[in-house]
Amino acid sequence: MQLPPAIRADVRLKRRDLRCAIFCHLSLSPACQIPQVLTRRWRPPRAPGFPSREGMRCKFSTCPIFSVSVHSPTLTHRYRTLSLHVDSLVEGKQKRGEAKAGDPASAIRQIDVHRLSVEEVYTRFSTSPTLGLEGDALLRRSKAGKNVITPPPTQYWKKALNYVFGGFNFLMWIAFIVTILSYEPLGGLDPAAFNLGVAVLLLLVIIISATFYALVDWHASRIMNSIKTLIAEEASVIRNGEHQSIAAEDLVVGDVVTLSMGDRVPADLRLVQVSSDLRFDRSLLTGESDMIPGTVDITSENALETRNLALTSTFVVQGSCTGVAFAIGDKSVMGRIVAMSGTNKLKLTTVQKEVWFFTKIISTLALGLFCISLIAWAAWLRTSFPGFETASGAIVNSIGCLTAFVPQGLPVCVALSLTIVAKRMAKRNVLVKNLATIETLGCMSVLCSDKTGTLTVGKMSVQNVAFLDSEFGIDEIRERFSLEDSTTAPPALKSLHMVARLCNGAKFDSATVHLPVQDRQVKGDATDTAVLRFAEDLSIPSLSVDTSRLLASYEKLFKIPFNSKNKWMLTVVERRGAEPATSMLVKGAPDVLFPKCTSVLRADGASIPFTQDARASIHSLQERWSSEGQRVLALCSRSLDDVRVKPGTSANEMEELMYDNLRGLTLVGLVGIRDPPRGDVADAVKIIRRAGVRVFMVTGDFKLTALAIARQVGIVTEEKVDTLKDMRTSADMHRFEGLKAPLIKPREEDGERALVLTGDDIETLEEADWNSVIGNYTEIVFARTTPEQKLKIVEQTKARGDNIVAVTGDGVNDAPALKASDIGVAMGSGSDVAKEAAAMILLNNDLSSIVVAIEMGRLVFDNLKKVIIYLMPAGTYSEFIPVFCNVFLGMQLALSSYLQVCFCITNDVVMSISLMFEQPEAGTELLEFGKGSGECSWIEPDLMLRKPRNARTDRLTNWQFFVQVYLFIGLMMWPCAMAMWFLFMSQQGLGFYDVILVYNKWQDGYKGFTIDQLTHFVNVGQCIYYVSLVFMQYGDLLAVRNRRVSIFQSNPLWGPRRNLFVPLGMVATALIAVVNLYGRGFQDVFDTAPIPGMYWGIPFAFALGILMMDELRKLIVRTYPSSIVARIAW
């Protein structure tokens, strides 16, 4: 005997969380306190109130720019705590009077609607099952407020602390404190105004940084708030006797709400009518992935545990129901829990971990060198060379170690980069709930795509119908049989129309029923919608085929909605009249229903045995339609007059009875539904595959239908497509034995290989089979898959070859796979469940937006690397050398602390920001030139020609990076700047050895100069060193803009790589230098001075030299890609 569906449906989709976030997004700083609830798997603790170890673990950072993901304390723990608390109250362990006012448990204890009968529910809320609420009651109750949950209050003091002390600001605070100390009390009786000026400058840096973090935070909040408003939530209600769709926020207490599969529960509901297969996903609250059945009767005294309540923001994952709203907004269970979630924790994302790791290294190095410098002064210079430096001077000079090794432009550029990407993606109708996933998309190596609604238009229409001996196109039926005088219509069309219209899970929106059939709004999935429109529009006078007459003649008694496991829908109907008759109507997948059929209809309406010849004929027709890309449905029926149903049979017993009698069906006919591929999909798939990303199709459709669509969109290009049997007998089946998981990936020399597997095949796969599937094939179609199998495909793919897996989907059955993937991408027209599970939503359902996201992800990573390579040679290496020479070689400081700080926070930042506006580089491999014209006809982005970045092994900084910084650019930059210092000193009559190893000899009378003259020489020399760095950065900036391409193909002034922020940054940094040197106040406080004209010009030659050397390096890399120069290229 077959298990009751209530038991079968209760089997877990997968032993994995189906956890969905209430608010899931990425803000640009931790101070952006938009609540994000991230539920975790809950298990009963060993002791009451003792959280799991997983529940206590949370990584965080103090950096406002890096700590960008915000979420409230675990919602599941609060839910369980409330549940246990309510239980204790119910059992009388706490008196009503002892509960605190506003205590959520006490408030929930007052809920008693689950104890009422259905009739009492309608009476209490003055509503009706058929009429719902009416005008006056609606107007009166709407004054109680909107159905909106108020977010928890923001803790502004924490935000302010993160702004002021986060990021690199903590280093600036250290520098500020020691500088103040060097002024007072270490400055003596006449402290230097220079020290105070540096302290004021450092404080200004902190204020500017904090202000910038706050502005970025505010901007991020606006972006995320706009995203929330764009994801509209609607509710289907009965008001004034009509079904209506309204905004969820307009719900009022007493509204009669109807829900179907995929809907989010808009308010707390008391269930008054349920289908036998109704299941809820409460993982948002409980952390459990099990589907929770819904019932009409009470199952627990605890309002949080009973199954006859549907709670706000949970999901209907199966079946349908009707409920009466008894609590909305902040008074709902979810509202009360959110009100408790005032504490927020921080979590780093992948790209921010990379940047934060780099920042910690640099900060540790800076603090270490700062301490070494002070120790060297205290332990050696102070005693060996008395008078060389005062304590105050040693501290101020050592601050150069802090400022030299801190790339101040980096956090600013990270924030700006994410902001720029968010704006670009928004223009392409892409909502990114977590901006860090953009960079993750750049690492994506496998894209698992659903078919319906993703690769195809998602607007299905019936194209053909067929019986055993005849086949008709829809246009043919309308032309030949819809006329009044037509007498040649096949009688079997009447039976087919009956099954198509009565066995259907879709329904028309009552607000649009007056419109033509094709213009009406339909609530239901795409397949049922296509069949509904076909049946509603079908009119054959000669057979008395008329939809309104059909609906009036039959009453629906029971139904089992379609689900992805059964792959069929069943409806029990009874004919009204003097001679009532009961029938079972079934619609679903042919390969599932054919074994249950014993007879088949001919076009003339005669029923004959479903013999092997008949099966072969029907199967051949199915394969032909499927190979054309049509989805094929079988429509079946049988009489239930011989099935006895006892009075008072429950819904679950009725469902079990139907399962037992799902046999002896008559195959009425086949319906062919076409869902054409989207026009842009083929091009998008081509570009994605060219970028090194494998595209798998994962669908519940028939194998041949899926394969046909896969060929049309370019997922499958090979003529020979292997099956499971072919794969197991191939020579490469066991080539991965003994290899580690990261090494299981296709070899380039093997070329493209295609494979098609069905859900039945997946159930038989072992570890060795999965190794072969993932490691040998580049084109894969998974057909007839269930949600568990989709989830398994994602998990098995992620476990091999260092794959970063993205999943696209739009249906409820896609949600587990979307959540388990590295990047879940939902369609804007998809279900709420899919949108909540995904990290990114394509509002216009445009797959080409994923191409843009991949490119943006790779571009973000590239530009961050360029920023760091730009900042390091001058901002760390060339600034540290003067400090080193001062401390250990006894030379006067060639770059003052003020100029170091100023260079880092102004000149460097202004120039580096321009790199974040860089477009992708043009690929040199695929340049095509017009015949004889010499002009480039098209250029493909180099970013989309590379293999995906391996997130485990390809780091933001590697050894090639440090070679470029310290042994190439930096090794040209600091010697040139130091040469300018020595050249100026020589012009003043001080040779090389008169400047170096001097220590405490640099005093009044040294080499015949007064101390004022010597001080002036140092001040001018420091400004020359500073100006040299400023203008050499021009060459550095132009060099790092391109990794391979020459500047002649990508100059910043015109063409596809135009970036006018580059010349603007150059002008700005030059103006900053002029102000520093010629500003009267700067000269008085910071001892800056004008420099001779030649020293304004010579650095341009150095900048040109740096650029030319890098152009030569790129030329060698392009010409000799196997040379050692190419191997060490960044």
List, by residue number, the catalytic residues.
Answer: 450
Q: How far apart are CA 132 and CA 139, in angstroms?
A: 14
Angle at 1108 between CA 1107 and CA 1111, to 5 degrees: 90
Dihedral sign of CA atoms 1037, 1043, 1048, 1054 in order: negative
Q: How far apart are CA 75 and CA 24, in angstroms?
A: 14
SS3 931: coil
Q: Closest Cα partner for 272 from 334, 326, 329, 327? A: 326
CB atoms within 10 A of CB 301: 14
Alpha helices in 302-349 (DSSP H): 333-340
- Cβ contacts of 598 within 8 Å, gap of 6 or more: 609, 610, 663, 664, 665, 666
Q: How far apart are CA 502 and CA 575, in angstroms?
A: 12
- Amino acid 5 reads P
* 327 phi/psi in degrees, rounded to 5: -155, 140
Q: How far apart are CA 475 and CA 393, in angstroms?
A: 92
Q: How far apart are CA 519 and CA 276, in angstroms?
A: 32
Q: How far apart are CA 713 and CA 696, in angstroms?
A: 12
Angle at 459 between CA 453 and CA 465, to 5 degrees: 120
Q: How far apart are CA 120 and CA 429, in angstroms?
A: 47
CB 854 within 8 A of CB 947: no
In whole angstroms, what separates CA 234 from the centre of its chain? 23
Q: How far apart are CA 457 and CA 479, in angstroms?
A: 27
Looking at the DSSP assignment, which residues form a beta bridge with residue 456?
677
* 964 phi/psi in degrees, rounded to 5: -65, -40
Strands (E), 62-130: 69-71
SS3 318: strand
Strands 522-523 and 234-239 come out as unpaired
Q: How far apart are CA 887 and CA 369, in angstroms?
A: 11
CB 326 within 8 A of CB 303: no
In whole angstroms, what separates CA 40 from the centre of its chain? 19
Q: How far apart are CA 1092 and CA 987, in angstroms?
A: 11
Dihedral sign of CA atoms 720, 723, 729, 734 in order: positive
Q: Closest Cα partner for 1040 from 858, 854, 864? A: 864
Dihedral sign of CA atoms 1012, 1016, 1017, 1018 in order: positive
Q: How far apart are CA 311 and CA 332, in angstroms?
A: 8
- Copy the structure tokens of residue 696: 């798998």
Cis upstream peptide for 516 (omega within 30°): no
CA atoms within 13 A on the CB side of 968: 26
CB 28 within 8 A of CB 434: no
DSSP tag of 1024:
H
SS3 933: coil
Q: How far apart are CA 1115 and CA 646, in angstroms?
A: 87
Q: How far apart are CA 286 and CA 305, in angstroms?
A: 10
- Copy the structure tokens of residue 170: 């903590």
Q: How far apart are CA 1058 and CA 1041, in angstroms?
A: 11
